[in-house]
Amino acid sequence: MGIPPREYINAERMRQATSMLRDGESVLDTAMTLGFSSSNYFAVVFRRHMGCSPREYTKRYRAQSYFVADGEAAVTGGQKANGARKKAKV
Protein backbone atom coordinates (compact mmCIF):
# COMPACT_ATOMS: atom_id res chain seq x y z
CA MET A 1 0.00 0.00 0.00
CA GLY A 2 1.06 3.56 -0.61
CA ILE A 3 1.23 6.48 1.74
CA PRO A 4 -1.51 9.08 2.19
CA PRO A 5 -1.28 12.04 -0.21
CA ARG A 6 -0.67 14.64 2.56
CA GLU A 7 2.17 12.54 3.98
CA TYR A 8 3.74 12.18 0.54
CA ILE A 9 3.47 15.91 -0.15
CA ASN A 10 5.03 16.82 3.20
CA ALA A 11 7.84 14.29 2.70
CA GLU A 12 8.61 15.85 -0.69
CA ARG A 13 8.47 19.33 0.83
CA MET A 14 10.94 18.25 3.53
CA ARG A 15 13.30 16.90 0.87
CA GLN A 16 13.18 20.26 -0.87
CA ALA A 17 13.44 22.13 2.45
CA THR A 18 16.64 20.37 3.48
CA SER A 19 18.17 21.26 0.14
CA MET A 20 17.13 24.90 0.41
CA LEU A 21 18.38 25.22 3.99
CA ARG A 22 21.74 23.68 3.02
CA ASP A 23 21.94 26.21 0.18
CA GLY A 24 21.61 29.06 2.70
CA GLU A 25 17.93 29.97 2.36
CA SER A 26 16.31 31.36 5.50
CA VAL A 27 13.69 29.35 7.36
CA LEU A 28 11.03 31.93 6.49
CA ASP A 29 11.90 32.00 2.78
CA THR A 30 11.98 28.19 2.68
CA ALA A 31 8.59 27.93 4.37
CA MET A 32 6.96 30.48 2.07
CA THR A 33 8.52 29.03 -1.10
CA LEU A 34 7.24 25.56 -0.22
CA GLY A 35 3.71 26.84 0.39
CA PHE A 36 3.46 26.68 4.18
CA SER A 37 1.08 29.20 5.73
CA SER A 38 3.63 30.21 8.37
CA SER A 39 7.20 29.50 9.40
CA ASN A 40 5.85 28.13 12.71
CA TYR A 41 3.78 25.44 10.97
CA PHE A 42 6.74 24.68 8.70
CA ALA A 43 8.92 24.18 11.80
CA VAL A 44 6.35 21.80 13.31
CA VAL A 45 6.19 19.67 10.15
CA PHE A 46 9.98 19.82 9.70
CA ARG A 47 10.58 18.63 13.30
CA ARG A 48 8.04 15.82 12.85
CA HIS A 49 9.85 14.56 9.73
CA MET A 50 13.48 15.36 10.52
CA GLY A 51 13.64 15.05 14.32
CA CYS A 52 15.02 18.57 14.81
CA SER A 53 14.03 22.15 14.07
CA PRO A 54 15.01 23.81 10.78
CA ARG A 55 17.49 26.03 12.66
CA GLU A 56 19.06 23.02 14.41
CA TYR A 57 19.33 21.25 11.05
CA THR A 58 21.03 24.26 9.48
CA LYS A 59 23.41 24.60 12.42
CA ARG A 60 24.39 20.91 12.25
CA TYR A 61 24.89 21.10 8.48
CA ARG A 62 27.10 24.17 8.78
CA ALA A 63 29.15 22.50 11.54
CA GLN A 64 29.74 19.50 9.29
CA SER A 65 30.52 21.72 6.30
CA TYR A 66 33.09 23.56 8.42
CA PHE A 67 35.13 20.38 8.77
CA VAL A 68 34.73 19.35 5.15
CA ALA A 69 35.84 22.80 3.97
CA ASP A 70 38.82 22.55 6.33
CA GLY A 71 39.87 19.27 4.69
CA GLU A 72 38.73 17.05 7.54
CA ALA A 73 36.11 14.32 7.58
CA ALA A 74 32.72 15.45 8.84
CA VAL A 75 31.04 13.12 11.31
CA THR A 76 27.90 13.35 13.41
CA GLY A 77 28.30 15.46 16.50
CA GLY A 78 30.73 17.90 14.93
CA GLN A 79 33.83 15.90 15.82
CA LYS A 80 36.73 14.80 13.67
CA ALA A 81 36.92 11.16 12.64
CA ASN A 82 39.84 10.61 15.05
CA GLY A 83 37.66 11.67 18.00
CA ALA A 84 39.41 14.99 18.70
CA ARG A 85 37.39 17.98 19.88
CA LYS A 86 35.88 20.38 17.36
CA LYS A 87 38.10 23.30 16.35
CA ALA A 88 37.09 26.68 17.69
CA LYS A 89 35.67 28.96 15.02
CA VAL A 90 37.52 32.22 14.62
Q: Chunked in runs of 10, what are the mean pLDDT values of the chain (90 residues)?
A: 88 96 95 96 95 95 69 45 41
**20 neighbors 4 (Cβ within 8 angstroms):** no
CA distance 38 to 72: 37
Top CATH class of 5-53 equals: mainly alpha
Residue 90: per-residue pLDDT:
40
Q: What is the DSSP string of 10-78?
A: HHHHHHHHHHHHHTT--HHHHHHHTT-S-HHHHHHHHHHHHSS-HHHHHHHHHHHHHHHHTTS---TTS
pTM, 2 dp: 0.67
* Residue ranges covered by each domain of the chain: 5-53
